Copies of this chain bind each other. A is one copy, B any other.
Amino acid sequence: MARTSGSQSAVTGPRIHATALRLFAEQGYAAVSMRQIAAEVGVQAGALYAYTTGKQALLFDLLRAASTDLSAAWEAAPKGSGSVAHLEAFARVEIGFRIDHPWAARLASSELRALAPDSLAAILTLRQRHEAALEAILRTGQAAGVFRIAEPRITALALLAMWSGVAFGYTDGIRPNRERVERIGWNLTRKAVGA
């Protein structure tokens, strides 16, 4: 990145966020310096502060966007009717999001610990609202006798982890076929909950 001077705000802003997202997810928040982000974007470190108030704010913005993007994907998804259809829709949104946005998904699962307490609380509120939707699906299906599961809370955590395993397993290899990965993940899910 060899650019030396000039004003590029419409380009630089998004590039800063995309670069920070990838580096934070790959190496961890604490291991990445503002100078490193700037170098990959192609500006000097001081220029970053025209777009963010600091490193912490950059992380918070990225984690908030990851949470709201995932929730928005779930809100927008076609859901069908019945607990089984709802669970399939949820599984496909979760797996698909991890395939389409691997850095955001990885950041959200590993760097919450780097947030200041107030920022952490804000992100956890967003996240818990989303996870509660999954737990509600499991409870409803359990009450209706459609799912045979021991504890909805633990089952939800197990499924979320499994969806990460499936999606990242493919992401680590060759370019994944999204429909195929979603189908494999859903088949494991359907059988695990006894549907």
Contact = CB atoms under 8 A, between A and B. Distances in A.
A42 interface: no
A7 to B, nearest CB: 33
Contact of A157 (B28, B30, B165): B165
A179 to B, nearest CB: 13
Interface residues of A, number: 35
A158 B188 contact: yes
Copies of this chain present in the complex amount to 2
Interface string A9-40: 00000000000000000111111000000000
Contacts of A169: 153-154, 157-158
A195 to B, nearest CB: 10
A166 interface: yes
Interface majority SS (helix, strand, loop, mixed), chain A: helix
Contacts of A189: 192
A58 interface: no
A184 B151 contact: yes
19 contacts: A27-B30, A28-B29, A28-B31, A28-B114, A110-B110, A154-B166, A154-B170, A154-B184, A155-B188, A158-B165, A158-B166, A158-B185, A160-B165, A161-B162, A161-B165, A191-B191, A191-B192, A191-B194, A192-B192
